[in-house]
Amino acid sequence: MSISSCVIALTVYGHIVVKPVLSTCAPTTLVVLQVVGYTCAALALSMLYACLTVDPGLVSTLPPGGSPERAPCKVCGLLRPPNSHHCRTCGVCVSGFDHHCGFLGVCIARGNHRPFTALLGAGATILPLFLHCVVVVAQCELTARPLSSWSDAAWPAAKFGVPISALAFSCPTMVGFFLYNLTLLATGTTSPLFVDTMIQPLVGRVEAAVLRVLTRVLVSLEGLVAARVWRDAEAALAAAHRVGDGS
């Protein structure tokens, strides 16, 4: 339930720290934050409930028969359709498996991938806006009450520095995960299929390109060394001839 804890923490911090300052120095920003924030919080909690309660696609709940391409699982022995995976964390076979989410403690698959992506979308919307509001509040307070010594900076650093650092790290991470899962939904694929069809061939091509470059470099170095050795041999032979002619 860490997602609920984050929503509650952001709400409490917003009411105690952000709202009083924005109400005086940036009331329009406060209205936007409240409208978007409460909407995203409601969406996040509802999508969280859906992720935790909707059947992700357990093979044990699928009707018998179905696809003739079903093959037994090597772990539990259940006949499962293609693109299924046995989650060792949950101990079940899941059809259309994408990944096991450690934050939610459930498998994300074809049954709950859409609400999971919507949950990420809510986070990717509110976190950058909340980060902007915290920065505005910090600027307003530091402008109204400038710091006179290093000892005065301890409380503002804890009050604004820690949240800004956490949000600055969380925003690109959340946006990246949201765009990645949105791409998976748009293309009708999953993370294991994406790795098999996109990542592994790309890694193979990169490895082949690196090997070709290294081979050319080694061949060039070998040629340079051979040329140097040949020039040294010619110089030694010419010196020997000069010594012989002189004698």
| Half-sphere exposure for 60 (CA within 13 Å, toward CB) | 8
Phi, then psi, of 95 in degrees rounded to 5: -85, 140
Query: pLDDT tens digits for 106-119?
Result: 999 989 999 999 99
CB 78, CB 93: distance < 8 Å:
yes
CB 84, CB 94: distance < 8 Å:
yes
The widest CA-to-CA distance across the chain, in whole angstroms, is 103
CB 25, CB 140: distance < 8 Å:
yes
**Crossing angle of the two packed helices 2-13 and 113-144, in degrees rounded to 10:** 30
Rounded CA-CA distance 230/164 in Å is 64
Which pLDDT band, with edges at 50, 70 and 90, does 206 fall under? confident
% the chain with pLDDT above 90: 17
Query: pLDDT tens digits for 53-62?
Result: 998 888 877 7
Instruction: Return the bridge partners of 101, or none.
Output: 106
Instruction: Report yes or no on whether pTM surpasses 0.85.
Output: no
Rounded CA-CA distance 174/44 in Å is 13
Task: Single out the residue of 76, 121, 113, 125 nearest to residue 191, CA to CA.
Answer: 113
Q: Is the pLDDT of residue 153 over 90?
A: no
Phi, then psi, of 199 in degrees rounded to 5: -70, -50
User: What sign does the CA torsion over 84, 188, 119, 130 have?
Assistant: positive
CA 180 to chain centre: 8
Query: pLDDT tens digits for 163-190?
Result: 899 899 989 999 999 999 999 998 888 8
The DSSP code for 63 is P
User: What sign does the CA torsion over 40, 33, 182, 6 have?
Assistant: negative
